[in-house]
Amino acid sequence: MQVSETLVQNIVREVLAKMNLQQAPNNAHGVFATMEEAIAAAKAAQKTVRLMSMDQREKVISVIRRRIHEEAETFARMGVEETGMGNVGDKTLKHHLVAEKTPGTEDIRTEALSGDRGLTLVEMGPFGVIGAITPCTNPSETVLCNSIGMIAGGNTVVFNPHPAAIKTSIYAVNLINEASLEAGGPDNVACTVQKPTLDTSKVMMQSKDIQLLVATGGPGVVTTVLSSGKRGIGAGAGNPPALVDETADIPKAAEDIVNGCTFDNNLPCIAEKEIVAVDAIADQLMDEIVRNQGGVYASKEVQDALIKVVMDEKGRLNRKCVGRSAKALLEMVGVKAPAGTRVIVFEGPKEHPLISTELMMPILGMVRCKDFDEALETAVWLEHGNRHSAHIHSKNVDRITRYARAMDTAILVKNGPSYAALGFGGESICTFTIASRTGEGLTSAKTFTKARRCVMSDSLCIR
């Protein structure tokens, strides 16, 4: 048998990735036994960072970008192995996206006002030490993306990651510090604790040394952070509907929706979670998904079996099902999935538990509506007032405008897959912290800065 060079390269890459996984970051940079120590170290590092020029900060960020590209696949494997969620191919792409499209210092702009009474500059400066809480669904993606934006803003950061993703999160914190040291910056620009708990997050929320809190996760953590008495940025849950009307290009809508819905097994909070289709094209759309996009139609019995497996009687999700593939989910209910299976589909009322709940699994229920007006009302109901993300496939600009106004979400993708909003096949920056609850939208370096007004009275206006 002839072995091609590409095959050898792939095997070497795979072995290296596995070796990296075994290097448990016991002595990783930025990792402390207690939250108090982590905050103290980040505070000391911030004294250096705030004196660094924009150019020096940018050097640190460019090394971070290079290291993320180099380790994208390692992060992807580590995340999937530790959390059991998502898939290595898409997670690798997500890390490359973070490295490429997360804004750096260029995101921070100065506003200048000049007139007869002088010159005023509004400069965006650091908060200091930021406390960030991160999810298990995009663990290293969020730690890395947050760190780039926060350091660009002149801050340092302390993370309280999801305990189920601590190994992956520590690996990310270590990379950030190694990159800072390589670029001539200080250690501990990002810090965390060996064992994050609700108690360590409480210490973080109450610390006088933390000026800003950033919560990325479900409704519980966002509400807790926003009740802390400190300034908080809340990036909470969503349940994004994809509305399809009779003017849409139906084969393209089917392809875009399934591509967005199945990306990293539906883990991104912006991903299509259900379809709302007008009656005139509902059958055609479902047919396209089943015939050409790897959709497997679930019977009533399979739907009922799935409900029993993916959630308990109170509607709480079974973590073992979150971020699993459609094939794995079908196998859990005793259905052998055909080759090429990508998504489980069915039709049901909007109240169906697999439709109204944010599942983060490639299960895509379709609600049929008599016309656009009913579809719009249904989509608003399904989004549950999260004001997070919504998507639409339509060629009618008046309807798109009405939909955008009615949904009132941080993200709205028209005629494309949801991930276009993160810069993947769309004009956008990348972020994994979408501040839906507090209204900042896609967070970036400027979100992590505060306005400082410098007023020169009666001078320096040379107009």
- Closest separation in Å from C-beta 244 to ligand NAD: 22
Rule CB under 6 A: say whether 271 interacts with ligand NAD.
no
Q: Which of residues 341-360 bind ligand NAD (CB under 6 A)?
A: 358
Rule CB under 6 A: say whether 233 interacts with ligand NAD.
no
Number of residues in contact with ligand NAD under rule CB under 6 A:
26
Q: Which stretch binds ligand NAD (CB under 6 A): 120-128, 288-296, 392-400, 431-439?
A: 431-439
Rule CB under 6 A: say whether 217 interacts with ligand NAD.
yes
Rule CB under 6 A: say whether 441 interacts with ligand NAD.
no
Rule CB under 6 A: say whether 236 interacts with ligand NAD.
yes
The 355-384 site mask, x for binding ligand NAD (CB under 6 A), equals ---x--------------------------
Q: Which stretch binds ligand NAD (CB under 6 A): 34-42, 177-185, 433-441, 454-462?
A: 433-441
- Closest separation in Å from C-beta 371 to ligand NAD: 30
Q: Which of residues 144-173 bind ligand NAD (CB under 6 A)?
A: 161-162
Residue number of the CB atom closest to ligand NAD = 217
What is the rounded CA–CA span in Å between residue 80 and residue 435? Answer: 25
What is the rounded CA–CA span in Å between residue 102 and residue 68? Answer: 12
- Asked whether the beta carbons of 405 and 313 are under 8 A apart, the reply is no
Q: Which residues contact 155 (CB under 8 A, 6 or more apart)?
A: 46, 49, 126, 127, 128, 129, 130, 212, 448
Rule CB under 6 A: say whether 266 interacts with ligand NAD.
no
Rule CB under 6 A: say whether 138 interacts with ligand NAD.
yes
Rule CB under 6 A: say whether 192 interacts with ligand NAD.
no
Rule CB under 6 A: say whether 422 interacts with ligand NAD.
no
- Closest separation in Å from C-beta 84 to ligand NAD: 12
- Closest separation in Å from C-beta 53 to ligand NAD: 31
What is the rounded CA–CA span in Å between residue 399 and residue 298? Answer: 31
Q: Which stretch binds ligand NAD (CB under 6 A): 56-64, 132-140, 254-262, 278-286?
A: 132-140
**Which listed residue (158, 172, 179, 237) binds ligand NAD by CB under 6 A?**
237
**Which listed residue (41, 108, 124, 269) binds ligand NAD by CB under 6 A?**
269
Rule CB under 6 A: say whether 184 interacts with ligand NAD.
no
Rule CB under 6 A: say whether 201 interacts with ligand NAD.
yes
- Asked whether the beta carbons of 311 and 276 are under 8 A apart, the reply is no
- Closest separation in Å from C-beta 225 to ligand NAD: 7
| 31-32 β-sheet, strand order | 31-32, 190-193, 156-160, 129-133, 210-216, 231-235
- Closest separation in Å from C-beta 101 to ligand NAD: 15
Nearer to ligand NAD, 235 or 329 (CB): 235
Rule CB under 6 A: say whether 218 interacts with ligand NAD.
yes
Nearer to ligand NAD, 260 or 294 (CB): 260
Residue count (the chain): 463
Rule CB under 6 A: say whether 220 interacts with ligand NAD.
yes
Nearer to ligand NAD, 220 or 338 (CB): 220
Q: Which residues contact 427 (CB under 8 A, 6 or more apart)?
A: none
- Closest separation in Å from C-beta 353 to ligand NAD: 16
Q: Which stretch binds ligand NAD (CB under 6 A): 116-124, 230-238, 257-265, 275-283?
A: 230-238
Q: Which of residues 58-97 bind ligand NAD (CB under 6 A)?
A: none
| Interacting residues toward ligand NAD by CB under 6 A | 133-138, 161-162, 198, 201, 216-218, 220-221, 224, 235-238, 269, 358, 432-434, 436
